[in-house]
Every structure is written in structure tokens, then in C-alpha cells.
Amino acid sequence: MTTGPQPAERVDAEPAGEPPLPTIAEQVAEQLGGWRGMVESSIPVIIFVLVNVLADLRPALIASLAVAVAIAVMRLLQRRPVRHAVNGLFGIGVGAFIAYRSGDSKDFYLPGILYGIAYGLVLLGSAAIRQPLVGWIWSVFVAGGKSEWRQDGKLVRTFTWLTVLWGVVWLAKVGVQAALYLADQDTALGVARLVLGYPPYLLLLAITVWTVRRVTRDAPPVPSTATSAG
């Protein structure tokens, strides 16, 4: 008789509190495909820059594409997630195609520049219409699809200024690359692509995770009363 209710009590105890958020390092690593994913996605660009300096455009394109394909195949054979590898392969492939058609190595970086401009403008636009993109990305990748932050004025404001921060930083770093592109500084453009790639991204992710965790930790537990009433 006493053993019957015990499983029910354990089940009720589990959902009583929200599961703890992953650490900042875990969330950053997840967004970037892990530290291995960060390194692997940078290798084709490094190969392109080095081979283009030491040899010519065509060998650089072939080498970077071959490395990107090899990384994707290796991940597939190891049954590891290939999303980041495929995304990187697609970006390398588009840039390589444009550079091959134009015969100018700087065009290898053109898709990334255009994507960065579009992404920065979308970020700022979403903040302007009070639908901050960083908040929706947080809902998808961290909050398990939940969007309760839309009912929390403090979180909406937090995600809004975070989205503006992301947009400004994104446009600033793309602006540097665009200036080098227009100045025909191929090697400097490749170095800028690497230096302005992950470091600002990591910093923005860390700021975002730390800020949102702090705001949600300080928020009063109002939703718990609403759920218990239901």
C-alpha cells in the first residue's frame, strides 16, 4: 500500500523546478559545434589564405575545397554532427565558385561579407520592431522552443539591446572586411576574416548568456503561481 504513491511523488518532484541552464561554456560550444567544430570550420579559410600567398588562386581554391570536403566526410564517417561542417562546406564552395569565375582571390570572401551585412541589418531591424532576433534565437537553442520572455518586459528590453549590440558589432567587423575588399587587400582580408570571425562571436555569446542568466536569476518567480493555478 505504501509503495504505490512513491513513483508518483518522484515524478511530481522532477518538474517542480526548471532544469538548470547549461554553463556559459557549454552553450557557447553548442552554438559553434564544439571547440572541434570551431577549429574545423577555420581550417579551409586558413588553407586558402596560405596557399593563395604561396602559390596562386586556383591551387588555393582546390586546397580549401578539398580540406572542407575531407572534414565533412570525416565527420560523417565518425557519426558526428555534420551541420556545421556542411554549412562551412557550402560557404567555402560558393566563395570558391565566385572567385574562380572572376579570377580574383578577394571574391572568395564576398559571400561572407554580403551575408554579414544582411545579418547585421536584420538584427537591427528586428530590434526596431520589438521582435529582437537574439531573443528568438535564445528560445530555439537554449529555452527549448519556449518564448515566455515575450511576456517579460525586462527580458524584452534585455534581448532588444543585446540584439542591437550584435547588429552593431556585426556591421562593424563586416565594414572592416568590406573596406579591405574594396582596397584589393587580399591577404589582409583573409587575415581579417579569421581574426574578426570567432573572437567577436565568442565575446558576444558570452555577454548574451551571462546577461540573460543574470536577468532570469534576479526575476521574481511569477510564472510558477500561474502554472500552479492551471
**pLDDT for the residue 174:** 94
How confident is the model over 22-80, as pLDDT tens digits? 544 455 455 545 556 667 777 888 888 888 888 888 898 898 888 888 888 887 787 77
Rg (CA), the chain: 22
Cell of 51: 596557399
Nearest to 131 by CA among 147, 116, 143, 113: 147
If asked whether residues 84 and 64 sit together in one domain, one would say yes
Q: Which of 103, 132, 163 is the last residue in one of the domains?
A: 103
Does the residue 166 lie in any domain?
Answer: yes
Residues 119 and 96 both lie in one domain: no
Cα–Cα dist 33/153, whole Å: 32
Q: Which of 103, 131, 160 is the last residue before a domain boundary? A: 103
Average pLDDT over residues 192-200: 86
**SS3 category, 145:** coil
Work out the average pLDDT over 211-224: 69
What is the rounded average pLDDT of the residues 142-171?
87
Over residues 97-122, the mean pLDDT reads 90
What pLDDT was estimated at residue 114? 93
In a domain? residue 202: yes
pLDDT at 93: 84
pLDDT of residue 217: 76
Same domain, 148 and 204: yes
Please give the share of the chain, as a percent, with pLDDT higher than 90: 23
224 falls within a domain:
no
Q: Does position 11 have pLDDT exceeding 60, yes or no?
A: no
Cα 230 to Cα 226: distance, rounded to the nearest angstrom? 6
Helix and strand numbers (H, E) in the chain are 11, 0
- State what percent of residues in the chain have pLDDT above 70: 72
pTM of the model: 0.70
**Residue 145 main-chain phi, psi, to 5 deg:** 90, -5
List the end-to-end C-alpha distance of the chain, in Å, as a whole number: 30
Average confidence (pLDDT) over 151-176: 93
- What residues make up the domain containing 87? 25-103
Would 11 be classed as within a structural domain? no
Higher pLDDT pick, 37 / 153? 153
Q: Is residue 5 part of a domain?
A: no
Q: Is residue 203 part of a domain?
A: yes
- Give the residue from 21, 72, 3, 80 showing the smallest Cα distance to 43: 72
Half-sphere exposure of 61 (CA within 13 A, CB side): 20
Q: Do 88 and 134 belong together in one domain?
A: no
The reported pLDDT for the residue numbered 222 is 47
- Say whether both 126 and 206 belong to one domain: yes
Total domains present in the chain: 2
Q: Are residues 176 and 81 in the same domain?
A: no
Kindly indicate the confidence band of residue 173, based on its pLDDT and cuts at 50, 70 and 90: very high
Helices 24-31 and 34-54: angle between axes, nearest 10 degrees: 50
Instruction: Check whether residue 51 and residue 145 sit in a common domain.
Output: no
Domain membership flag for residue 174: yes
State residue 22's pLDDT score: 53
Do the beta carbons of residue 149 and residue 138 sit within 8 Å?
Answer: yes
Per-residue pLDDT reduced to its tens digit, 126-144: 999 999 999 888 887 776 6
Do 146 and 176 lie in one domain? The reply is yes
Residue 1 placed within a domain: no
- Check whether residue 141 and residue 215 sit in a common domain: yes
Based on the domain organization, do 110 and 214 belong to the same domain?
Answer: yes
Which of 61, 77, 103 is the endpoint of a domain? 103
